[in-house]
Amino acid sequence: MPKLQELRERREKIRTEIEKTRQTVAERRDNKEHAGPILTNEERTAFDKMKADYLSVNEEVKAEEGAVDIDDFLTQTAEHEQRSRRGPGGRLDPLGDDPLPGGDGASYGDALGTSDRSTLREHARRELRQTLAMQAWALSANCADRITDEHRQAVHETRTQMGVDFEIAGLPEHQLRELRTRVRGYAKERRIDEASRLLPSLVRESRAVAAVAGAADMANLAPEVASVAMERALITIGGIVNAADVMVTATGNKMTWPTADDTSNEGKQIDEVTAQSPDGTKPTIGAFSVSSFEFSSDFIRLGNQTLRDSPTAFVAAVSAMIGERLGRAINRKATSGAGTTTLRGLELGAVVGFEMPDAVTFAHAGLLKLKHSVDGAYRSVASWMMNDEILVEIMLLTDDNGRPLYVEANDGRLPTLLNRPVEINNHMAAHGTSEPNRARIIFGDLMKYKLRLVGNVRTQVYREKFAEYDQTGYDGKRGADGGVLNAGGDPIKSMLFPEEE
């Protein structure tokens, strides 16, 4: 934590210097007697260095935040599990206000909606059986001698098959949409806090509904803590993965549904004696379809010593890493995918709304033109999306009254640009990179990007591949597809530079 605090202080110091540069730019623009450039070559060079330093430190902050967050999450998970062992022989016997392992602050009572001791006890012990069974499944790879009688009993009771993949259940569509609605508009730290508070009860509810419907087979189904850890990791990714409208389907079969755009049509005044034309005005009819493309977390290599740690912490760690890696991979393709053999990316689906007059300078007028190129029906719910590197350039801009266009929120919400939220997506192109035809800034109703997630996450263990390194490998796989739903109203627009036609 001291390192993280130091990095945050360094970042804030650089941000203060950037703010001074912004004030200098604003003063010179307002000074009609100023005949020189807004920034001299030396000042621009100094700003470019500040920008590079800011981005570098910001990446370190995000990496350290991620490491601290995962470390804290796993440490708390193990501690919370131990705290609940107040029964005879250290058996789990939680109270309603005991923290739920993997719940990141949520209590047993919050997640289960009851303080009944027998209900809490049964839930805790069922979860432990599933985590022990999954740990035994992992240990069977290269550490079979570490499998205890408690592991064997859990494997028997959960009907776990050692040679079969485990599945980490994702939230069903209606609950995933509820979660996203509740956390949408928050910056990363607040988003994590809200998701951590909500996820345990949502996961618990989805399991209960599946059990009643007869859809939940306990054999090789990862425990609830795995689903919480995976969904929690996914919600922290940001980018279009979190801004999109999401749908979850059991299979990856192609889905097609019609679309209609009626934004350019309107009714008319009539009188009693004028006959109306039977033709009317037709909306623009189209179709939107999605299928499924397979994504993998790639190999997650863990030292075999790790497998012997707390079963709950081990399951949570693997699930969190799988969720985060899959989220990044899907976000990359959902941002810039070319379609046909992968997702149709946001950049592909966005219509050019404004082209900068040069490839060097962003301007207030250009951002206004991009914003107002989007129809008012979409503009009222629209957001900005851009790379972190471009956002630093935007921080310099002011309106005609010298007020910053970019405003940081102090209540945990997303910052705003021209009064609309800003989403960071570092899979978008950075300023100054040579990537023809890629959008630098996107504005519009990002919920018009439809992201399809398919089924549960299938988790495999690789028993021999990394044995010589005293490691065991894991990966997670899930299907996904997506694209911009545009019936003709162009709900999402982009900004290009002139050389990128």
Break the chain into its structural domains and give their ranges: 1-85, 239-262+284-497
- CB-based contacts of 46: which residues, under 8 Å, 6+ apart? none
Tell me if 370 sits within 8 A of 443, measured CB to CB.
Answer: yes
pLDDT, residue 43, reads: 81
Residue (of 260, 187, 117, 230) closest to 474 by Cα position: 230
- Give the E-state strand segments of 310-393 in sequence order: 351-355, 383-386
Backbone angles phi, psi at 232, to 5 degrees: -65, -45
Q: Report how far residue 170's alpha carbon sits from residue 226's, in angstroms, rounded to the nearest whole number.
A: 9
pLDDT, residue 399, reads: 87
Q: Report how far residue 195's alpha carbon sits from residue 104's, in angstroms, rounded to the nearest whole number.
A: 9
Q: What is the pLDDT along the chain (501 residues), one digit of tens a residue?
A: 557 777 777 888 887 888 888 788 777 777 777 777 778 888 888 888 888 888 777 777 766 665 555 566 656 666 666 666 666 666 677 777 777 766 666 777 777 788 888 888 888 888 889 999 998 998 887 777 888 999 999 999 999 998 889 999 999 999 999 999 999 899 888 888 888 888 988 998 888 877 765 555 557 889 998 999 999 888 888 899 999 999 999 999 998 877 777 777 788 877 777 777 766 777 777 788 899 999 999 998 888 776 666 788 888 889 999 999 999 999 999 999 999 899 999 999 999 999 887 656 788 999 999 999 999 989 999 999 999 989 988 988 888 888 899 998 888 899 999 999 999 999 998 876 667 678 999 999 999 999 999 999 999 988 788 878 888 889 999 999 999 998 888 999 999 876 544
Q: Please provide the CATH number assigned to the domain covering 239-262+284-497.
A: 3.30.2400.10
Q: Report how far residue 371's alpha carbon sits from residue 367's, in angstroms, rounded to the nearest whole number.
A: 6
pLDDT, residue 500, reads: 43
- Taking the CB of residue 33, how many other CB atoms lie within 10 A of it? 5
Phi-psi region of 106 (alpha: psi -120 to 50; beta: other; left: phi over 0): beta
Residue (of 258, 235, 413) closest to 326 by Cα position: 235
Tell me if 384 sits within 8 A of 12, measured CB to CB.
Answer: no
Alpha helices in 170-218 (DSSP H): 173-183, 188-213
- CB-based contacts of 371: which residues, under 8 Å, 6+ apart? 379, 382, 418, 420, 443
pLDDT, residue 285, reads: 78
Angle among Cα 204, 75, 410 to the nearest 5 degrees reads 80
- Give the E-state strand segments of 206-272 in sequence order: 245-249, 255-261
Q: Report how far residue 117's alpha carbon sits from residue 111's, in angstroms, rounded to the nearest whole number.
A: 14
Q: Report how far residue 69's alpha carbon sits from residue 200's, in angstroms, rounded to the nearest whole number.
A: 17
pLDDT, residue 42, reads: 83
Lookup result for tokens 């990363």: 188
pLDDT, residue 213, reads: 58
Q: Report how far residue 388's alpha carbon sits from residue 397's, in angstroms, rounded to the nearest whole number.
A: 15
